[in-house]
Amino acid sequence: MDTGLTGKNVLVPGASSGIGLAIAQALGAEGANVVLAARREDVVKAEAARIPSAVGIALDLDDDGAPAALVAAAEDAFGPIDVLVLNSGGPPPGGAADITDVHALAAVNQLLLQHLRLTSLVLPGMRERGWGRIVAVGSSGVQQPLPNLALSNLGRAGLAGYLKTLAAEVAADGVTVNMVLPGRIDTERVASLDSAAAQRTGATPAEARAASEAGIPARRYGTPAEFAAVVTFLASAPASYVTGEQLRCDGGMVRAY
């Protein structure tokens, strides 16, 4: 399949490792110009050097002005952004009864407001050009809230509502807006969650992972590359009639359709 991504300009935050890096690599393999952004300067620049046409930019999106600085730097490198991937780390685990105002505001900033700011910066150009792709990395918790991940459930649900509303507003302009929902993907983030689960239950991290895998019909964790392939399709030209969707990549973990 010709993805039509050759020469397209892509921005991927959170791209120094895990899902974000896999997405950057997959889009770069399709001929896109990729801007990788992350906090760790040495890592993000080293990873960008391994992609045919890419640059790495180090910044912290929690900083004031960082989203505008990132978009400006990305446009300086390659030109207007055609594909925006909304990706960030997740807040710490914890129950809903323990959430404070400070925790909630931090989660909403990380999982909703940062993405809203980036979107608002690139969306006008996409609409003017009549082509654009916004693909968000969400969580299966958007459809089936995850135990002990109350902050993640809170922030990502807000992002899902915003993106669904936005998708209907910009579809006629040639801009698609979709969300991919990972289940248990084999990343550092999921390993840390397994370790936290092990500490709560007295199990080892390996035992916690085995218990988690037992609840997945595929009986394994997914790979970042498998997840990135789904994002690549939604970013592609052939996916032009797919918008406002939440597509799970979870090995069947969420049992509802």
Q: What is the pLDDT of residue 20?
A: 96
User: Model-level pTM?
Assistant: 0.94
Q: What value does the mean pLDDT of the chain take?
A: 95
pLDDT tens digits, 121-179? 999 999 999 999 999 999 999 999 999 999 999 999 999 999 999 999 999 999 999 99
Instruction: Using DSSP bridges, classify how beta strands 33-38 and 175-182 pair: parallel, antiparallel or unpaired.
Output: unpaired
pLDDT tier at 9 (50, 70, 90 boundaries)? very high
Tokens read off for 5 = 């991504």
Q: What is the pLDDT of residue 34?
A: 98
**Residues of 104-125 as b/e, b for ≥16 C-beta within 10 angstroms?**
eebbbbbbbbbbbbbbebbbeb
Whether 29 shows a pLDDT value over 90: the answer reads yes
Tokens read off for 127 = 């609409």
Query: Mean pLDDT throughout 23-28?
Result: 98
pLDDT tier at 98 (50, 70, 90 boundaries)? very high
pLDDT tens digits, 108-123? 999 999 999 999 999 9
- Using CA atoms, how far apart are residues 16 and 160, in angstroms rounded to an integer? 24
pLDDT tens digits, 167-203? 999 999 999 999 999 999 999 889 988 998 898 889 9
Whether 243 shows a pLDDT value over 90: the answer reads yes
Is the Cβ–Cβ distance between 137 and 87 less than 8 Å?
yes
Whether 63 shows a pLDDT value over 90: the answer reads no
Q: What is the pLDDT of residue 13?
A: 96
